[in-house]
Amino acid sequence: MDFYIYILHSISSDKYYVGYSTDPIRRIVEHNTKPFSTYTAKHRPWHLAAYFNCGNDENTAIKLERFIKKQKSRKLIEQLCDTAFKPEGFLAQLVRVPHVRD
């Protein structure tokens, strides 16, 4: 089973959210519909900005997600959303998954 890093963008509050999952499309639906009072519930609606395959090891996906979040860098997240950007270093193992934007 493959794991993915996904990046969501809230147009209404201009915020980004980074997560990991085996099914990023399902996670977007959950972020937009779950009736909980969470960070993502407060900034709906979310749109998929980018997602990356990071292999079949959940520990790798967790490490990549934590690495991105620990950078606390909007610039890095925006670069990851740019299809022309090629991740380097630790992030070089990310494989961009092409998708249709809405």
Name the maximum alpha-carbon separation found in the chain: 38
The Cβ of residue 32 has, within 10 Å, a number of other Cβ atoms equal to 15
pLDDT at residue 34 in the model: 87
pLDDT at residue 35 in the model: 84
**98/18: higher pLDDT:** 18
Domains, the chain, in order of start with CATH, read 4-96 (3.40.1440)
Straight-line distance from the first to the last Cα atom of the chain, in angstroms, rounded to the nearest whole number: 27
pLDDT at residue 99 in the model: 66
pLDDT at residue 65 in the model: 98
Kindly state the average pLDDT of the residues 33-43. Answer: 87
Report pLDDT digits (tens) over 54-97.
Answer: 999 999 999 999 999 999 999 999 999 999 999 999 999 999 99
